[in-house]
Chains A and B, each alone.
Chain A
Amino acid sequence: MAAGAGEVQNNRLALIYTSPTFLIMGLVIVFPFVYNVVVSFSNMNLQHFRDWRIVGIDNYIAVFTDRVFWYYFMKTILWTVINVFFHVAIGIWLALILDKDLRGRSFFRTILILPWAVPQYITALTWRGMFNSEYGAVSLLLQKLFGWNFSWLNDEWGAFTACLIANIWLGFPFMMVVALGGLQSIPRELYEAAEIDGSSWFDKLRTITLPLLKPVMVPAVTLGVIWTFNNFNVVWLVSNGGEPSDTSHILVSWVYKAAFRYFRMGYAAAFSMVIFAILIIFGWNFVRRTRATEAVY
């Protein structure tokens, strides 16, 4: 029998086809990663940009003893949990509605996908404008409706909320589209059988829809958590680099500021290694746990 696709052993041709890709990935991802490990053990900063040397684990000690690390860490957790919760809840809610026979579904589907389609930096800059305390559309609307005056971007939690709203806006369509795809693959017969058994709407949601959506939503939520955790654009651009006075950062925006505004390279490199470790631990746990639950089913 002739060998099928993917069964022909050919190291030479495979190398020719893949080497340009690996060259570029090596240059942009692998080498910088290794270099980052080295820098994280060095004293590189603005004074020692060229004549840096290895100083051991000083930077890591600085990261963990620095109060800002724990502060931004808690904020990042809060940021990720609130965002992903709203993305998934709104996404599934809208998907459940759009899955019904409604006039104009494809119109609504198209409009509701728009926030995902707008480039992220434009979303962030636009929401920053809308939260402007004097002329921003959000502030004007709140003022006209409730007579409520609030200077969002000058307040730590106001700026955090502004970032949250902008990010929830841009994130729910992804979950909606994924959930819609999942809903369409659920066999109709299951609902008909439940109907005969006299199940209520809520029973069907709990026993059929949500469990069968889970396999599609789990990878989407994993990606969503990683994207949100690493979401530099929204936090940086809405809060204009962590304003007021570096209080509204999450971990990744603080690393950027430490490296590119304060030029504390060694410290920033160590800090980003810690962020990376957090993500690896999360990813590994997540895979292990979802495998465990799959085995139970």
Chain B
Amino acid sequence: MKNPRELSLPGKVGAYAVLMAFTAFAIFPILSLISISLRPGDRLLTKSLDIIPPDATLSTYSDLFFKEPFLLWLGNSLMVSGAVTVVGVGLAATAGYAFSRYKFTGKNFAMLGLLATQMFPLTMLLLPLFIVLIKLQLYDTYWALIIAYSATALPFTTWQMKGYYDTIPYSLEEAASIDGCPPFKTFWTIVLPLAAPALVITALFSFMTAWSEYLVAAALIQDQSRFTLPLGLKMFQSSMEVKWGLYSAGALVVSLPVVILFVVLSRWLVSGLTLGSVKG
């Protein structure tokens, strides 16, 4: 019997041709960033298409780190993303637990409500949120971003945590409660350690949500000393003279960690995502 996954020779040639074409498409912008970031300052506006310029230099990177407020933006982004990670993990771990283990009034409504928030266009919520935050005197503070990003990540991470708790046998908790262990202690000492893999995914997802967000930050942050990385990188492009070299070097530095994380995590992200939407 012929293996259905085997290809004939012409089939293989065609398959590789298609793969190569789309690989080229996929890496074209990335190569273009690398090339621009390596050019010396006086040759930024070159018309050459070389990937590694003949006079490649890392001077743009040192300018980025030491002459521009890049480290300040990095610090702001790390602080906001770190806070969102802590809030996101704490809230998703507890809410997901209640959804998995308890029966309570309004449970189905609440779970569907969480999914439904994904339908709301962000631009619709942004204007009232902006007004509310001004009233609460939180406009143009890190808190505004931390609250908004946590809410963006929570529906997905709560569902993801619930799905993971569902796979942990309930008999462990029953045994603990028969032995007289109070519910909070059972959750903290027995269930949470078992849910460690899901907690890691939740943490990384929350971090990446906050790290890569532009629109909310653009609407809620005004003071340049509080700029996060997306606002900073946009500034390289929007000022009167566009700083292509600095933008390209910054974009690569900012993307590299999340790209690596994402590629490693992609399998889990997709299974959680399709699971959630199929069940909903």
Binding site for B on A (CB under 8 A): 2, 4-11, 13-18, 20-22, 24-25, 27-29, 31-33, 35-36, 39, 90, 93-94, 97-102, 108, 110-123, 125-130, 134-135, 137, 140-141, 144, 169, 172-174, 177-178, 181, 188, 191-192, 195, 215-216, 219-220, 222-223, 226, 229-230, 232-233, 236-237, 240, 252-253, 255-256, 259-260, 265, 268-269, 272-273, 275-276, 279-280, 283
Q: Which residues of A lie under 8 Å from residue B15 when comparing CB positions? A: 97, 100, 102
Bound-state CA distance A28–B102 (Å) is 26
Q: Does B18 sit within 8 A of A, measured CB to CB?
A: yes
Tell me how far the C-beta of B14 lies from the nearest C-beta in chain A, rounded to whole angstroms: 9
Can you identify 30 A-B contacts, CB atoms within 8 angstroms?
Answer: A8-B102, A11-B104, A15-B104, A16-B94, A20-B91, A32-B128, A33-B124, A33-B125, A33-B128, A36-B128, A39-B127, A94-B19, A100-B7, A102-B12, A112-B19, A114-B263, A118-B30, A119-B211, A121-B213, A122-B212, A125-B234, A126-B33, A135-B244, A172-B22, A195-B2, A215-B278, A232-B215, A253-B123, A255-B123, A269-B128
Q: Which 3 A-B pairs have the closest CB atoms?
A: A119-B212, A28-B151, A272-B124
- Report A-chain residues with C-beta under 8 Å of the C-beta of B4: 188, 191-192, 195
Residues of chain A within 8 A of B25, CB atoms compared:
169
The answer, yes or no, to whether B56 is at the interface (CB within 8 Å) is no
Report the minimal beta-carbon distance from A205 to chain B, rounded to whole angstroms: 12
Q: Are A260 and B128 in contact (CB under 8 A)?
A: no
* Residues in A neighbouring B234, C-beta threshold 8 A: 121, 125, 237
Name the interface residues of B259-280: CB closer than 8 Å to any CB of A. 259, 262-263, 266, 270-271, 273-274, 277-278
B118 touches A226 (CB 8 A): yes
Known: A17-B98, A27-B151. A36 touches B277 (CB 8 A): no
A94 touches B22 (CB 8 A): yes
Tell yes or no: B240 within 8 A of A by CB: no
Contact A233 B214 (CB under 8 A): yes
- Whole-angstrom distance between the Cβ of A61 and the nearest chain B Cβ: 19
Residue numbers in A under 8 Å from B123 (CB-CB): 230, 232, 252-253, 255-256, 259, 272, 275
- A121 and B49 in contact, given A20-B91, A24-B91 (Cβ under 8 angstroms): no
Who on chain A is nearest to B230 by CB?
A: A121
Q: For the complex, would chain A's binding face be called helix, strand, loop or mixed by DSSP majority?
A: helix
CB of A9 within 8 A of CB of B103, answer yes
Check B22 against A177 for contact (C-beta < 8 Å): no
Q: Say whether B2 contacts A121, CB under 8 Å.
A: no
Residue of A nearest to B155 (CB): A25
For residue B45, CB closer than 8 A to chain A, the reply is yes
* A21-B94, A169-B26 as given contacts; A140 in contact with B214, CB under 8 Å: no
**A6/B95 in contact, CB under 8 A:** no
Tell me whether A259 and B104 are in contact in the complex, defined as CB-CB below 8 angstroms, given that A31-B132, A94-B18, A216-B274 are known contacts. no
Contacts of A25 in B (CB 8 A): 114, 117, 151, 154-155
As a 0/1 sequence over residues 90 to 118 of chain B, the CB contacts with chain A under 8 angstroms (1 = contact) are 11101101111111110100100010011
Contacts of A121 in B (CB 8 A): 212-214, 230, 233-234
Residues of B within 8 A of A99 (CB): 5
| Tier of interface size on chain B | 35 or more
Q: Which residues of A lie under 8 Å from residue B122 when comparing CB positions?
A: 230, 232, 252
Interface of B is mostly: helix
User: Which B residues form the contact surface with A (CB < 8 A)?
Assistant: 1-7, 11-12, 15-16, 18-19, 22-23, 25-30, 32-33, 36, 45-47, 49, 87, 90-92, 94-95, 97-105, 107, 110, 114, 117-132, 147-148, 150-152, 154-155, 158, 165-166, 170, 174, 183, 211-215, 219, 230, 233-234, 237-238, 242, 244, 247-248, 251, 254-255, 258-259, 262-263, 266, 270-271, 273-274, 277-278
